[in-house]
Amino acid sequence: MDILKQRIAEQGVILSNQTLQLDALLNHQVDPKLIMEIGQEFARRFKEERITKVLTIESSGITVAFATALELGVPLVFARRKKTLTTDGEVWCERVPSFTKGIVTDILISKNVLSSQDRVLLIDDIIANGDAARGLIRILERAEAELAGVGVVVEKSFQAGARLIREMGYRFESIVAIKSLEGGAVQFESQ
Ligand code: G4P
Ligand code: NA
Ligand code: NA
């Protein structure tokens, strides 16, 4: 998606060789039209997969996951970080480290919103080491829900997350993949 590459090149801020701040278009401010186009693209790629639910994790994955779920005509479930949990029902919980925040958090999904009948599309904004995504995948496995595939807006292909998920045998799709942030420039994979 050339428009997304252009926006990342114009509005992304390289914070280090590993980290690209995208607050102007994904993580703080969002362009609803662009997000809707990305959701339509994910829906197009996964439309034959008999998806019953889209799953993401709060907070920045929610906009794109919502756009995808709207287009597919299925519910969106967003996993919560522990501190915001208010449900008193039973929950699935996995502990994951966070690359950017340097902390460990618990991610939770109520057992009321996920079942063994579900065929799930996992959507997220950015994948680095994939700890959050793999935590969500462990919950799906414990819930005996089926994972139809994973879609992320930005894959940092110089980090391990996307590769690890593909190696687990799951379908993995990204809208754009960044192969390097070195030398103060964003270099994209040709996709
Ligand atoms: P990982 O799962 O791929 O290993 O990433 P990790 O959980 O360590 O990432 C923690 C958060 O940092 C995630 O957002 C992830 O999207 C974000 N992140 C990782 N690398 C980058 C990067 O280069 N740029 C930006 N902008 N974000 C990055 P989160 O904790 O779910 O926070 P939120 O944004 O959803 O609130
Ligand atoms: Na994020
Ligand atoms: Na995220």
What value of ipTM does the predicted structure carry?
Answer: 0.91
**Single pTM value for the model:** 0.94
Residues near ligand 1 with C-beta < 6 Å? 19-22, 27, 57, 59-61, 98-101, 125-133, 156, 161
Atom 12 in ligand 1: which residue has the minimum CA distance? 100
Residue 38: give its domain's CATH number: 3.40.50.2020
Please report, for residues 1, 41, 123, the alpha-carbon distance to residue 9 in angstroms, rounded to integers and kept in the order given: 13, 20, 22
Quick one: which atom of ligand 1 is closest to the CA of 98? 8
Residue pointed to by tokens 């919560």? 80
The pLDDT score that the predictor gives to residue 103 is: 85
Please state the rounded mean pLDDT for residues 60-72. 98
Q: What is the pLDDT of residues 34-58, one digit of tens each?
A: 999 999 999 999 999 999 999 999 9
Strands 187-188 and 76-81: unpaired
Q: What is the pLDDT of residues 150-187, one digit of tens each?
A: 999 999 999 999 999 999 999 999 999 999 999 999 99
Q: What is the pLDDT of residues 11-38, one digit of tens each?
A: 999 999 999 999 999 999 999 999 999 9
The pLDDT score that the predictor gives to residue 45 is: 98
**What is the count of structural domains for the chain?**
1
Range of the domain at 92: 2-188
User: For the chain, how big is the Rg over CA atoms in Å?
Assistant: 16
Q: What is the pLDDT of residues 72-99, one digit of tens each?
A: 999 999 999 886 555 566 999 999 987 6
Please state the rounded mean pLDDT for residues 93-117. 89
With a cut of 70, say whether residue 6 has pLDDT above it. yes
